[in-house]
Structure 1
Amino acid sequence: MDIIPAIDLIGGQCVRLTEGDFSQQTTYHSDPVEVAKQFEGLGLRRLHLVDLDGARAKKPVNLPVLERIARQTKLIIDYGGGLQSSEAVRQAFDAGAQQITAGSIAVREPQTVEAWLQEYGADRIIVGADFKDNRIAINAWAEQSDLTLESFLASFSEKGAKTFICTDVSKDGKLQGSSIEVYQRLLERFPTLQFIASGGVTTIEEVRQLHEAGLHGAIIGKAIYEGTIKLEDLAKEVI
């Protein structure tokens, strides 16, 4: 299972939100490049980079940060936030992202994301399935759509997507555990898809449980910054 630390960006700084609420923001580090280097130095190989400014602006804002991290590390970066056009996706790839995450646009304009899947391939386009109470959440999690999680996954599976970041919005940033039962249900229903758990991962034991359940990856953010999961312990899971 891929261990994927997260860096969320506001104003070029490393921050975390609770339940995606911009009014519940904690700033952890002024230089995300140094944070990324720390991850790499401990043997972690991947990075989930979220442009929260971009999510609000509906266009990438922190591409210079992406470019610096890509230039100064060898981390495999997936980038999301504000990717609402084909031009924005190209900009993200040109700045050094190896993968991008298509979030709200996958709900509003599924045909656009389908075109990206055809152009770049399913290995480079991850679909973000942010959910709350089994409904897909959109617009930086500010509202829920009418789509159920399962119907959304089934639709994009038919369009060629194979990797999904499934974030339980109700658990994100709360350090109260992730939705392992939901992921287990999804794995049973969609055994050929790759699911990356996100939201609420709190302990190293939970990381192991997600691995044993068959998750393709786990994104870990606040647990790292608050110290409920030690980076050294995560590195052991990778190595």
Structure 2
Amino acid sequence: MEIIPAIDIIDGQCVRLTKGDYDQVTRYSDDPAQVARDFELAGISRLHVVDLDGAKARHVVNIDTLRNITSATGLSVDFGGGVKTREDLELVLAAGAKQVTAGSIAVSDKEEVKKWIEEFGPDKIILGADVLDGKVMVSGWQESSGEELMDFLNYYVQLGIQYVICTDISKDGVLAGPSFELYEAIQLRFPTLHLIASGGVSGKDDLIRLKRQGLYGAIVGKAFYEGRLTLEELTTI
């Protein structure tokens, strides 16, 4: 299982939200590129970067921060937040991201994302499935789309999507454990998906359980920044 640290960006700074609430922001560093370098030096190979300003504004905002990270490291970066147009997608890839997460746009404009998958390949596009009470959320987790998660996933599996980051918003940033049951249900329904868990990881035991459950990857954020996981643990589990 790939353990993937997260760097969430607001105003060019490394932050974390609680349950996606922009009024509950904890700031950890004003130099995300240095945080990324520290991950790389520890042996991490992949990084998850989220433009929280972009998610809220509905267009990519922190592109310079992405460039700083990709130019300062050799990490394989996947980037999400505010990617709404082909121009956004091309901008992010040109800035050095290896993969781009399609979140809200994958709900609001399925035909556009279908074109991205066909043109850029399913290895470049990660489906962002942010869920609350079984419904897919959009616009930086601020609005419910009303679409059922499993229906949403099924549509894109039929198009050949390979990678999915699934975040249970109720778990995110509260260090109460991931949604093991939700991930198990997705695995049973879509066994070929490269499913990446996001939200709720509180420590080493959670990662071990996700690994045993057979997930492709797990994103780690607050548990690391709050000292519940060390860099060594991130690279040895």
TM above 0.5: yes
TM-score, length of structure 2 as denominator length: 0.98
Q: Is the 8 A contact 1:3 1:220 kept in 2?
A: yes
- How far has the Cα of 1:60 moved from its partner? 1.0
Distance 1:207 1:118 in 2: 33
Shift of 1:57: 1.6
Using the alignment, how far apart are the partners of 1:199 and 1:120 within structure 2? 28
User: What letter is aligned with 1:181?
Assistant: E
What is the aligned-residue RMSD (CA, Å)? 0.7
Contact persistence 1:56–1:140 (CA under 8 A) = yes
Q: Which residue is 2:96 aligned to?
A: 96
- Shift of the alpha carbon at 1:189? 1.1
SS state of the match for residue 65, structure 2? helix
Task: Please give the secondary structure, in 1, of the residue aligned with 2:187.
Answer: helix
The one-letter amino acid paired with 1:215 is L
Would the aligned equivalents of 1:114 and 1:160 in 2 still touch at CA under 8 Å? no
SS in 2 for 1:47: strand
User: What is the match of residue 166 of structure 2?
Assistant: 166
**Is the Cα contact below 8 Å between 2:58 and 2:139 reproduced in 1?**
no
**What are the ranges of 5 or more consecutive residues in structure 1 without an aligned counterpart?**
none
Query: What is the CA-CA distance between 1:41 and the residue it aligns to?
Result: 0.6
**Structure 2 matches for 1:61-72, cutoff 5 A?**
61-72=61-72
Flag as ranges the 4+ runs of structure 1 deviating above 3 A. Answer: none
Task: Write the letter of the residue equivalent to 2:98.
Answer: Q
AA of the residue aligned to 2:4: I
Identity between Structure 1 and Structure 2 (%): 49
* Distance in 1, Cα, partners of 2:63 & 2:54: 9
Return the alpha-carbon distance in structure 1 between the equivalents of residues 186 and 83 of structure 2.
Answer: 26
Identify the residue that residue 177 of structure 2 maps to in structure 1: 177
Amino acid corresponding to residue 70 of structure 1 in structure 2: T
Mapping 1:72-91, distance limit 5 Å: 72-91=72-91
How far apart in 2 are the matches of 1:184 and 1:203?
19
SS of 2:153's partner is helix
User: Helix, strand or coil: the match of 1:212?
Assistant: helix
Q: Which residue of structure 1 lines up, in the alignment, with residue 113 of structure 2?
A: 113
> Bigger CA drift: 80-89 or 137-146?
137-146
Aligned to 1:148: 148
Alignment of 1:1-239 (within 5 A): 1-237=1-237
Question: Higher mean Cα deviation, 93-102 or 146-155?
Answer: 146-155
Deviations 1:54-76 (A, max 9, x none): 11121111111111111110100
Partners of 1:18 and 1:148 in 2: how far apart?
23
Deviation of the 1:185 alpha carbon: 1.2
Runs of 5+ consecutive residues of structure 2 not aligned to the other structure:
none
- SS of 1:175's partner is coil
In the aligned structure 2, how far is the partner of 1:229 from the partner of 1:210?
15
Normalized against structure 1, the TM-score is what? 0.98
Map Cα deviations across residues 81-132 of structure 1 (whole Å, 9 max, x no partner).
1100000000000000000000001000011111100111111100000001
Please tell me the residue identity of whatever aligns with 2:116: W
